[in-house]
Amino acid sequence: MSAAGPVLLLERDAALPLVHGGVCTRSGSAEDPEDRLGLTRLCQRLMRRTAAGMAADEVDARIDRMGAALGLDIGHGSTALSGTVVERSFDEYMQLFEQVLTAPGFAEDELDRLKRETLAELTEILDSDQQLVQRWFLRSLLAGHPYGRTVVGTQKTLAAITLADVRECYRRHFTRDNLLFSFAGAVDAERAERAARAIWQALPAGGGAPAAPPEPEEQPGRRLVFVDKPERTQTQILIGGIGGHPSDPDYFPLMVANTVFGGTFTARLTQEVRAKRGWSYGAYSSIGYDRRRQAFSMWTFPKAEDAAACVALELQMLSDWWQGGITREELDWAKRYLTQSHAFSCDTAAKRVGLELDELTSDLPRGHYARFVAHIGDVTLEAANQAIQKRISLQNLTLVVVGTHAAIGDDLRRAIPDLAEERVVPFDTE
Amino acid sequence: MSAQNSSPNLAALTERLNEGRSAHSKLEYLGRSKFGPALWIERFRLGNGLSVLYVEEHAAPTVAFHTWFRVGSRNEKPGKTGIAHLFEHLMFNETEGLAAGEFDRQLEELGAESNASTWLDWTHYDIAIPSSGFERVVELEAERMAHLVLREPQVASEKEVVMNERRYRVEDDVEGALNELLWATAFVEHPYRWPTIGWMSDIESFDVQDCQTFYRTFYAPNNATLVVVGDVAPERALRKLQDAYGTYQPAPIPPPPASVEPQQGAEKRLQVTKLTPTWKLNIGYHSPALGHPDHLPLSVLSEVLFGGRSSRLVKALVRDKELASDVRASLSPLSDPGLFEIFVSAREGVVAEQLLEVVDAELARVLVEPVTADELARATARIELSLLQGLSNNEGKASTIGFYEVVLGNPSASFERLAALPSIRPDDLLVVAKRYISASARTVILVQPQGDPDDDAGGDDVEVAA
């Protein structure tokens, strides 16, 4: 649709009597004030719970009764309020959707309850070593940048959030020009457009996506954060730095090079760490992005006794990759893999609409996915190896390990050449 | 499968494809059954006993090619637990025609996505491929069914990987450890009592001989079902399967263990301490097998009690009383009777007995009072949505078809369960509640946080009075 109406992405596919869809905002938790972290997430959860002044129980019961699911995904640069509904309930689902988006009740007692629930969720995270390593990795690597901030909030920032903050947050995110509507499945264009327009018209005009934050800057040197948790038989390890963004001219070369390094089951990292040595059930590298570059990271989880050797091996492999690049044979294989497997990124209507949404919410070049196969085909060996050296740093690395420090801390420190800084934090540090 | 119908075209095609073929590679067309409103599952069997389920579906240029073996951890013996799962890992290794690593390398080169899983009743290998790679993927999958090479370096390395997987899923994971303890306590006879990943000491002790014996015993065409769903025409698909699998010999497959779990006469209760910030509660009630008529109404009852935020227990524990941060339940879909499991994670300052009191009060209600029509409608709508969501692509369809075929012998059972939902009445739920929600047939595990003021269990499992 044009500027005179809502932005609507739609693909009809009536093979199943289901409709997937929802609304994305082109702004996210990066907009949360430093002393109100968790505000965007709290706001949208509260919108869902208090639609049209209903009690949260009533909202949940209505969703269940329709044969629907409605969830939230809060990112730094965008948010999604979306779900799935059986086709026969689509109109009722959109009516509820409209109430969530245009008439949230924002009850004070529900806000208080939600804060208590969120605090309990923060406590639950302490049980998951995988979540702990991710939390500390992003927090350390992106310190000082909005992408390094928590989406969920902390005890202190959640306590500070008031209903007035929530209302202001709602007004900031939910404006006509900041919303993207999307539907896929057993719904025709007219029905979808009617539903989207009704919501769009009920919201205030203007208010497009905020400016993206600046690109994150690398932290200097090799820095180890040891998240100390008692009685660990195993470790969780993330090592990395700032990666790339699809708007970078060398993004596709970097993607091909990463596929060779740690992007698949037969990539170098999995072969050396898992297949040859049996050290870790998983061993992968990835390049994350939001509206800006985010992390390039290597993830492994060896048993405690193998952690130091595993880190040493990963650093050596990273160095070999950086200095020696990838081979012609590896390049050709990775390009074949990426072009062939792209079929699974777009094998359903919902996935295809999702890719279009990703282009819009992550500031990707338009046509990024439509030209994906051609872009991969254009990657040369020279470009791939140059991209590694340009985008990946050997010197500026953040290493985060969740484990038992008394058992492996010394060995681990010795396994990291040129370590500039080491910090040990108790696992239950907020 | 009840052959509700058959396709004359496929019958004729089968006849043509069989011309000049050996006995083992001759296909028998066994008929078709509906799979939802628009699709048909066509059933075939090769002369060597290999079952084939085929669905033609051209919505995307991809094919799901799945292989299910009727062997899981239930087929293991004490002292050798975990071999079915270890073997699943080994299947990605060297074969007579492929060097180590080559299997995965070739799959990836074709753009395929592959994975595998093992559970109590089965082992499942799934490959998703762009349609152009179908023939090569069939060749690769057939190669490892009969020509796997098992040698010391690979077995030793894969044991290390599996032990690391166990550390990840059990040793360092409170919920994983708790779940293992629940099943090991609830069952005393049936092989469901040991974990699919196996006990650590058993994994450590496996050798090449163990693996070769397992392979020869269970990996035969007559113990497998192939599921093909997607953008591949029937003649192309069937001819290739005949070519790739038709030379394989059937083997005598040992019958599944005839172990029957004796009826539990009294509640079992254990309290353990773990490094976790809050108390946890895990309860297991003995429950019917997936094929039992009570399974579906009990699934609906589980949804009424634990399905989503408006369900009785989630509402009571998370929202109204604010005693818990997480409340879930699951009803095991197994060949033999399993468990109806309940998991609750307490909020700080709340002890497990408080959670148990609320759970017991709500469970007591469904023993005497029918659920409301609205609760029933919500629960069945949730189940319907869940089933439909699982069928969004070829992978989901193939997984659903293969699962119901291997566990129930009926690949269309998912839609049959869906069709049966509207006939379920509140009284049906009352009946199954009385039959299965019995304190004398349950196992209760309480997890106390280490360092809790009342922690005097010293880290050991302690039996406590019910």
Query: Are B116 and B91 in contact, with CB atoms under 8 Å apart?
Result: yes
Asked: is A222-426 a CATH 3.40.1110.10 domain? The reply is no
| Sheet (strand A236-242) strand order | A283-289, A293-300, A236-242, A397-403, A222-228, A419-426
Tokens for B210?
Answer: 């163990």
Residues in chain B where the model's pLDDT stays below 50? 1-3, 457-459, 466
> Which residue of A128, A264, A341, A373 to mutate against B (max B Cβ within 10 Å)?
A341
| Sheet (strand B338-346) strand order | B324-331, B338-346, B280-287, B442-449, B268-274, B462-463
Looking at the partner chain, which of B108, B158, B171 has a beta carbon nearest the beta carbon of A266?
B108
Is it true that A7-201 and A222-426 share their CATH fold? Answer: yes
DSSP letter at A36? G
For the stretch A369-373, contacts whose Cβ atoms lie closer than 8 Å and that sit 24 or more positions apart, written own/partner, are A369/A345, A372/A342, A372/A345, A373/A339, A373/A342
Band of pLDDT at residue A64, cut at 50, 70 and 90: very high
For residue B49, the distance in angstroms to the closest alpha carbon of chain A comes to: 32
A68 interaction partners in chain B (CB closer than 8 Å): 385
Angle between helices A108-125 and A163-173 (to 10 degrees): 90
Looking at the partner chain, which of B322, B384, B391 has a beta carbon nearest the beta carbon of A67?
B384
Looking at the partner chain, which of A123, A271, A347 has a beta carbon nearest the beta carbon of B348?
A123
Is the pLDDT confidence value at A73 over 60? Answer: yes
pLDDT recorded at residue B37: 85
pLDDT recorded at residue A430: 87
φ/ψ (deg, to 5) at A327: -95, 165
Is the pLDDT confidence value at A229 over 50? Answer: yes
Query: Are A384 and A331 in contact, with CB atoms under 8 Å apart?
Result: yes
Band of pLDDT at residue A2, cut at 50, 70 and 90: very low
Domain residues of chain A, as ranges?
Answer: 7-201, 222-426
Average pLDDT over residues A189-206: 94
Q: How far is CA B139 from CA A108, A156, A255, B41, B241, in A?
A: 63, 59, 30, 23, 9
Which residue intervals of chain B bear CATH 3.30.830.10?
A: 8-245, 268-463
Across the interface, whether the CB atoms of A341 and B130 are under 8 A apart is answered: yes
pLDDT recorded at residue B5: 85
Average pLDDT over residues A89-111: 96
Nearest to A243 by CA among A253, A235, A228: A253
Amino acid making up residue A218: E
**CA-based radius of gyration for chain B:** 24
The CATH T-level fold of domain A7-201 is: Cytochrome Bc1 Complex; Chain A, domain 1 (3.30.830)
The class (CATH top level) of B268-463 is alpha beta
Q: Which residue do the tokens 């008439």 mark?
A: A103
Q: Which residue do the tokens 């938790």 mark?
A: A29
* Chain B CB within 8 Å of residue A87 CB: no
Nearest to B189 by CA among B257, B261, B288, B267: B261
Angle between helices B426-436 and B352-368 (to 10 degrees): 130
The string of pLDDT tens digits covering residues B125-172 is 999 999 999 999 999 999 999 999 999 999 999 999 999 999 999 999
A281 interaction partners in chain B (CB closer than 8 Å): 161, 164-165, 168
Query: Are B46 and B237 in contact, with CB atoms under 8 Å apart?
Result: no
Nearest to B279 by CA among B341, B354, B352, B342: B352
Nearest to B127 by CA among B220, B36, B226: B226
Is the pLDDT confidence value at A290 over 80? Answer: yes
- Give the whole-angstrom CA distance, residue B194 versus residue B82: 9
- Give the whole-angstrom CA distance, residue B131 versus residue B127: 12
Across the interface, whether the CB atoms of A275 and B175 are under 8 A apart is answered: no
Is the pLDDT confidence value at A317 over 90? Answer: yes
Is the dihedral angle over the CA atoms A30, A32, A34, A37 positive or is it negative?
negative
CATH fit for domain B8-245, picks 3.40.50.970, 3.10.105.10, 3.30.830.10, 3.40.190.10: 3.30.830.10
pLDDT recorded at residue B461: 58
Average pLDDT over residues A271-292: 96
The string of pLDDT tens digits covering residues A238-263 is 999 999 999 999 999 999 999 999 99
Kindly provide the residue ranges of all beta strands, DSSP E only, lying in B70-155, ordered along the sequence. 113-118, 123-130
Q: Which helix (H) or strand (E) holds B330?
A: strand B324-331
